[in-house]
Structure formats: C-alpha cells, structure tokens
A = this chain, B = another copy of it.
Amino acid sequence: MDYEWDDDILAFQKELRTFCEEFSTDLRAAEDQAGRDLVFKKVHGEMERRGWLRIAWPEEYGGGGKSPFYQFVMVQEFSYAGIPYGGLSVGSIAPALLNHGTDEQKQKFLPGILDGDITFAIGYSEPNAGTDLAALQTRAVKDGDEWVINGQKIWTSEAHVSTHLWLAARTDPTAAKHRGISMFILSMDTPGMTVRPLYTMSGVRTNEVFFEDVRIPADSLIGEQDKGWYTVANALDFERVSLAPTGQLARQFDRTLEYLKEERTEQIADKGTRQRLAELKIDLHVLRALNIVNASIIANRETPTMEASMTKIWSSELRYRLSSMNMDLLGRYGGLRSDDEGLTPVDGQNEQTYRGSPILRFGGGTNEVQRNIIAHRGLGLPR
C-alpha cells in the first residue's frame, strides 16, 4: 500500500491547475457559445502541443508513455475546472483506431483527431437497441467496392457538429446477436444521411440519424468484419482510468459550500445543514475512493472487474443526490435556472446538473446492468 501521489504527478497537477485557471478566465470572458467554442479549440490545440492528449499512450503509438495516473489526474483537474477536452474522439475513437485500424486508417484520421479537425459522433444506439445494444438492426451490405448502409440510429449526440460518425452496423444478419456487427467510419456529409434533432430536458441537443442507401468505400470498415463488438469492447485500458471523475461534482460541492458560507451565514451555522453537507462530503470521498481503486488496478497493468461499474453507479447516483440536496438546501433559490444572472446561486449548476442527472443512470449501460456485472463478473454469482 502506498497512498502518496508521486512528486511528478503532483508537479503535473500543479501545471494542470495553472493551465485550467488560465483558460477558465478565458471561458468566463467569452460572450457566447461561439466564443466558448473558440476557447475549447484553443485548449485542444495547446494540449496537443504539450503532448497531453496522448500523455498515457504507449510510445510506439506516438504517446507520452506515462503512467495511467497522468491520465487520471488530468481528467480530474479538467473535470474540476469544468473544461471539456478531447472528448470521445480522443478518448475512445483514437484508441480503437490504434488497436484495430490499418496503417492507412491511422494516418488518415489520427492527425486530424489530435488537431481537433476531425471529431466523431457515436452511432451505437437504435430505437430498439438501447441497453440491449446487440439487438441493433442498421445494415451494412457489401456492394462491389462499397458498403451500403440502411437503418437508423438514435441518441447520436453531437452528430450535428461532428465531422465524422463512428458507426456500428450489422454485416451478418444470420449470426447471433453479438456476432455479425462491424464498425465503420463515415464522413457526416455522405449523401443519404439525415440528422434530426432531439431536444432534451437537460438543455442538451441530441439526434436521430437516418441512413438511406448511404454508400461508403470499402476501407471505411475498421477492424475485422463481423467482429465489431470486440473492437468496441477492447478500448485501451488507460482510457478507462477515469470514467467518472470526482472533479465536476467536487467542484459543485465546493462552490455551493462557498455560496452558503458567503451568502447564508445563518444557515451554514445550522447543524442540520452542516450534517447534510458532511453526508455529501463522505459520498464524494467514496467516489474518490472508487476512482482511485479502479485507476490503481489499471496502473498495475491489471484489469478491473467490478470496480469500473461501481464507480459508474456511484457517480451517476451521487450526481443526482448531490444536485438534489443542494437544491433542497438552497430552497427557492435552488430551483432557479442559470439564465437568471445575479439571483441564481453558483450559476444554477445544481439545477442544471439535476436536470441532466438521469442520463448517466442509464447511459453507458444502465445502473441495473452495471449491478448485474458486479454480481456476475465481480462476485461470481450465477447467471
């Protein structure tokens, strides 16, 4: 056992904090979404310049070869600062390409992903294939030198602002569910694709994507044909090091506490309120603990069994619990939306997170399925 962070990690953390503070200032100064997008773009470029986007990638893949804990602390600090970076493209697609792409595919996509010029939406879910993803029905049929895609995807977030789609489609309809699926990359401007917006109560737009005889070249296939399920399942370990970072919720806790200390001196002196905050603090420490256990296993080049699922469950349920409790403590102020500047505490972060909190309770595998995974893979209970 060793619970000390190495000096080089701590030095890296310091560097990250300075970096995040600087860009947070820029973010606050931005006047609209376009301005904020510009800052994000700058963050991305600067991160690539410093080698951070690939900091834990193996050196043979052009990475920094650092310990997964570098990745861990980086995600933690960016999440605490509320600055998104890289996202799914760098975090999931790039590693999948590294593992399964041909040299040509790597050369075609990786530089753009790292520059931020190529961004991906993920085409997995379908109306009848959500938690039961293997039931997906979108078809890809080989026709000469091309694949022809027909079908529909849903919950394709960022499809309207991405350059490419990472698509799971059925290539062998006769095979059993998990088999017969293949992965493809499509440019979002391929003819035959229609993107329809779906607006959600969290304020975030997502999409449906429809495919009507969409033709893409043969080399759009990533990895082995009919083995796409395993391409997706085998993402690189270092990306799993921080699935549900403590950062954002910790920041929400800290900021709400700060508000109470400054604006509600009577309430913060109340033992009832203090105990509620203490409960949340303990819950955050549990989240931190699960994250570190998960990361530590990966850093030891072992494979977490149930630890990732535990972290995901705890994080998503705490996201709801913490937002809701903070709102309750703030009373009517807690219910204000962030578009009310001045009156709304902590920019309405609690209210906004509350509205978005259901997503992670079912997204990325419902918490019910996650608990099944813990029971089966972690505890060895019979199916």
From residue A352, how far is it (CB to closest CB) to chain B in Å? 28
Judge whether A35 is part of the interface by a CB distance below 8 angstroms. no
From residue A282, how far is it (CB to closest CB) to chain B in Å? 14
Judge whether A272 is part of the interface by a CB distance below 8 angstroms. yes
Chain B hits for A275, CB < 8 A: 271-272, 275
A278's nearest neighbour on chain B, judged by CB, is B272
From residue A301, how far is it (CB to closest CB) to chain B in Å? 40
Majority SS at the chain A contact face: helix
A64-89 vs B: 1/0 string, CB under 8 Å? 00000000000000000000000000
A30-70 vs B: 1/0 string, CB under 8 Å? 00000000000000000000000000000000000000000
Judge whether A145 is part of the interface by a CB distance below 8 angstroms. no
A276's nearest neighbour on chain B, judged by CB, is B275
A323-363 vs B: 1/0 string, CB under 8 Å? 00000000000000000000000000000000000000000
Judge whether A8 is part of the interface by a CB distance below 8 angstroms. no
A225-248 vs B: 1/0 string, CB under 8 Å? 000000000000000000000000
**CA distance in complex: A330, B22 (Å):** 51
**CA distance in complex: A157, B264 (Å):** 57
Judge whether A262 is part of the interface by a CB distance below 8 angstroms. no
Judge whether A7 is part of the interface by a CB distance below 8 angstroms. no
Chain B hits for A270, CB < 8 A: 271
Chain B hits for A271, CB < 8 A: 270-272, 275
Chain B hits for A272, CB < 8 A: 271-272, 274-275
For the complex of A and B, list the 6 residue pairs with the smallest distance between their C-beta atoms, beginning with the closest. Answer: A271-B271, A271-B272, A272-B275, A270-B271, A272-B272, A275-B275
> 6 more A-B contacts (CB under 8 A) besides A271-B271, A272-B275?
A270-B271, A271-B272, A271-B275, A272-B272, A272-B274, A275-B275
Q: Which residues of A contact B (CB under 8 A)?
A: 270-272, 274-275
**8 A/B residue pairs, CB under 8 Å, sorted by A:** A270-B271, A271-B271, A271-B272, A271-B275, A272-B272, A272-B274, A272-B275, A275-B275
